[in-house]
């Protein structure tokens, strides 16, 4: 996604990436980054929490419209309101993705 | 606060993301200045949650990904700003879609943006936003060659002054 942002930016359209992994977006040289410490699948926050979603969107717009140079990163200063163990589990798919399944199979073959 | 980029990631996945540096050929900074006031700008959204419109659009190809786990569907969908929460479906094998189905605004804040437009904070929203499925093959060849240029052409046609991308 940071690379897609770069290609769009290079074509002349300003971009901001709202991401759970701002360190990765920085490494990938995304031009504008908003970091959120949220579980995957929740870049704008908690379901039905309109106030939280709005604050993330406003920060994204502020960084999009106001960042002065490429590589600008601003992190959203709010902790995820669900206990870590629960949130960690609930974002993950019920069935492992094909690539995870493949990696797990490879690992179990290696250990037998 | 400095966000911990790996807080919700299983520890064994971390090496796939951390310390990999720039994407090959994408080392130098890119920059398109945002020159207008927000209140005079038209904004577009892009989600990588594999969103599509149930009634009128095909899903992303998860069967092929299942058969070939290194591959991800590189196509994209147009999501009308007027789409209702019940119009959405999500095709993404790497995340649990329950919360997004309950409230799609957490991935694609169409209503949130519309409110800011109504209030005059933002000048406007494009008529048609963009959705992709974020799990892609490592080289991103189809995205680079086809998807990205198509999305750029679409955003120009929509008169977008800026784009907010949100990975799932």
Tens digit of each residue's pLDDT (9 = 90 or more) over B32-44: 999 999 999 999 9
Q: With the CA atoms of A49, A50, A55 and A59 taken in that order, what torsion angle do they form, in degrees rounded to the nearest 10?
A: 110
To the nearest whole number, what is the mean pLDDT of chain B?
A: 96
Inform me whether the pLDDT recorded for A111 exceeds 80. Answer: no
Please tell me whether the overall predicted TM-score, pTM, comes out greater than 0.90 for this model.
yes
Q: How many structural domains is chain A composed of?
A: 1
pLDDT at B42: 98
- Cβ-based contacts of B61 with chain A (< 8 Å): none
- Chain segment B15-25, per-residue pLDDT in tens: 989 999 999 99
- Chain segment B81-96, per-residue pLDDT in tens: 999 999 999 999 999 9
A106 lies in a domain? no
A97 lies in a domain? no
pLDDT at A112: 67
- Cβ-based contacts of A33 with chain B (< 8 Å): none
A17 lies in a domain? yes
Cα distance between residue B28 and residue A28, in whole Å? 10
A63 lies in a domain? yes
A103 lies in a domain? no
A58 lies in a domain? yes
Among B41, B95, B144, select the one facing A91 at the smallest CB separation: B95
Give the C-alpha distances (Å, rounded to integers) separating A71 from A17, A22, B122.
11, 11, 23
- Cβ-based contacts of B100 with chain A (< 8 Å): 41, 47
Q: Which two tokens stand for residue B164?
A: 């907010």
A52 lies in a domain? yes
Residue-range definition of the domain harbouring residue A16: 2-82
Inform me whether the pLDDT recorded for B5 exceeds 70. Answer: yes
A64 lies in a domain? yes
Q: Which of residues 110-149 of B touch A (CB under 8 A)?
A: 112-113, 115-116, 121-122, 132, 134-135, 140, 143-144, 147-149
Contacts of A92 (CB under 8 A, 6+ apart): B95, B96
- Nearest residue on chain B to A58, alpha-carbon basis: B116
> How far does the CA of residue A66 sit from the closest CA of chain B (Å)?
8
Give the rounded percent of residues in chain B with a pLDDT score beyond 90: 97
């Amino acid at each position: 996604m940071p690379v897609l942002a770069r290609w769009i930016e290079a074509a002349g359209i300003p971009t901001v990436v709202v991401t759970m992994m701002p360190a990765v977006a920085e490494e990938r040289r995304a031009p504008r980054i908003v970091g959120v410490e949220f579980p995957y699948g929740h870049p704008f926050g908690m379901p039905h929490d309109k106030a939280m979603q709005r604050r993330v969107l406003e920060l994204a717009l502020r960084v999009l419209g106001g960042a002065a140079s490429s590589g600008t990163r601003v992190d959203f200063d709010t902790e995820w309101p669900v206990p870590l163990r629960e949130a960690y589990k609930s974002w993950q798919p019920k069935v492992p993705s094909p690539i995870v399944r493949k990696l797990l199979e490879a690992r179990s073959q290696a250990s037998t | 606060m400095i966000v911990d980029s790996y807080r919700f990631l299983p520890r064994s996945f971390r090496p796939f993301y951390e310390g990999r540096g720039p994407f090959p050929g994408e080392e130098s900074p890119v920059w398109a200045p945002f020159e207008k006031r927000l209140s005079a700008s038209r904004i577009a959204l892009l989600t990588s949650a594999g969103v599509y419109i149930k009634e009128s659009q095909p899903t992303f190809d998860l069967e092929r990904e299942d058969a070939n786990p290194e591959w991800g569907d590189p196509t994209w969908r147009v999501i009308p700003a007027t789409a209702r929460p019940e119009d959405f479906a999500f095709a993404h094998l790497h995340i649990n879609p329950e919360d997004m189905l309950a409230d799609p605004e957490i991935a694609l804040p169409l209503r949130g943006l519309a409110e800011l437009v109504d209030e005059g904070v933002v000048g406007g929203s494009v008529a048609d936003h963009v959705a992709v499925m974020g799990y892609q093959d490592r080289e991103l060849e189809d995205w680079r060659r086809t998807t990205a240029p198509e999305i750029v052409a679409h955003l120009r046609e929509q008169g977008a002054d800026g784009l907010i991308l949100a990975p799932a």
